[in-house]
């Protein structure tokens, strides 16, 4: 039973470029959330996808967008990269149930913007 | 607003002693409270969680308590060991569980 996987593990981009990060949820999970974790900080909620739609969004600009595919995998896209976008990007998945289901994190993608 | 406050930001305890980390949340509808441990360079790992229908939950040396009236919950680690050194995050859901917000983290140092 595979856990949450993310790709790539590391990425280096320059300012102004665009980046796409990928996430495959844990088997049986249908809800994917994305978080940005800057060095020394807690994970910051970017948005959540369920049934291929964005359900909730944190305080992130429109440069951050996403997508969820029929197989529940998800992508995070960031346009017009800024130096401040350098961070660990974490994907977390859970199964949407009647009550709160446990959320599990992927290993993250470490993005460096130069 | 959507807020999870976590204290302290740094905690040093002697090996074998207990450590306590506290969090408060703002949404009275929140009903699920996970704690994550993150070691350097690794992903956050769930270590324990509690749901609002119970006041305390234990798992070996780790326990979590919840006070829904006061909207706070705490992580207790007893008989601390060197491998407990890490950053610990509390979290709580908002907007009917669709958004899980994290505290800023507590860096726990276990001193020899």
Q: Could you say which of A41, A55, A107 has the minimum Cβ distance to residue B98?
A: A55
pLDDT tier at B97, thresholds 50, 70, 90: low
Q: Cβ distance B105 to B6 under 8 Å? A: yes
| Buried-exposed string B58-76: b where 16+ CB fall within 10 A, e elsewhere | eeeebbbbbeeeebbbbbb
Q: What pLDDT does B4 receive?
A: 93
What is the average per-residue pLDDT within A28-43? 93
Reported as a single tens digit per residue, the pLDDT across B42-91 is: 999 999 999 887 789 999 999 999 999 999 999 999 999 999 999 999 99
Q: What pLDDT does B100 receive?
A: 86
Q: What pLDDT does B80 receive?
A: 97
Nearest CA in chain B to A101: B32
pLDDT of residue A2 exceeding 90, the answer is: no
Query: In A, which residues are within 8 Å of B99 by CB distance?
Result: 45, 48, 56, 58
Count contacts between A and B (CB, < 8 Å).
51
Query: In B, which residues are within 8 Å of A49 by CB distance?
Result: none
Q: How many CB atoms lie within 10 A of CB A3?
A: 15
Beta bridge partners of B46: B36
pLDDT of residue A99 exceeding 70, the answer is: no
Say how far apart CA A15 and CA A13 lie, in whole Å. 7
Contact A56 B44 (CB under 8 A): no
H or E element, residue B21? strand B19-25
Distances (CA, A) of B88 to A17, A37, B21, B46: 33, 14, 8, 10
Reported as a single tens digit per residue, the pLDDT across B19-41 is: 999 999 988 888 889 999 999 98
CA distance A41 to chain B (A): 6
Joined together, the tokens standing for residue A108 give 């993250």
Q: What is the mean pLDDT of chain A?
A: 93
Task: Show which residues on chain B lie within 8 Å of chain A, measured between beta carbons.
Answer: 6, 31-32, 34, 36, 42-46, 49, 51, 89, 93, 95, 97-105
pLDDT of residue A95 exceeding 80, the answer is: yes
Closest CA to A88 of A52, A47, A34: A34
pLDDT of residue A98 exceeding 60, the answer is: no
């Amino acid at each position: 039973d595979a856990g949450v996987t993310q790709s790539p593990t590391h990425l280096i981009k320059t300012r102004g470029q665009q980046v796409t990060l990928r996430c495959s949820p844990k088997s049986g999970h249908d809800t994917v959330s994305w978080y940005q974790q800057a060095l020394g900080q807690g994970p910051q909620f970017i948005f959540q996808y369920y049934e291929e739609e964005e359900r909730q969004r944190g305080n992130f600009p429109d440069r951050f967008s996403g997508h969820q595919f029929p197989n529940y995998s998800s992508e995070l896209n960031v346009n017009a990269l800024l130096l401040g976008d350098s961070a660990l990007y974490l994907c977390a998945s859970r199964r949407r149930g009647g009550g709160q289901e446990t959320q599990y994190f992927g290993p993250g993608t470490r993005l460096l913007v130069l | 607003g959507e807020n999870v406050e976590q204290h302290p930001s740094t905690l040093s305890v002697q090996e074998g002693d207990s450590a306590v980390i506290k969090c408060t949340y703002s949404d009275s509808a929140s009903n699920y409270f996970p704690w994550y441990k993150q070691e350097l360079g690794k992903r956050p790992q769930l270590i324990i969680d509690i749901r609002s229908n119970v006041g305390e939950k234990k798992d070996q040396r780790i326990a979590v308590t919840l006070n829904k009236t006061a909207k706070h919950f705490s992580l207790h680690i007893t008989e601390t060991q060197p491998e407990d050194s890490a950053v610990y995050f509390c979290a709580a859901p908002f907007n009917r569980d669709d958004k899980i917000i994290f505290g800023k983290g507590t860096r726990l140092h276990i001193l020899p």
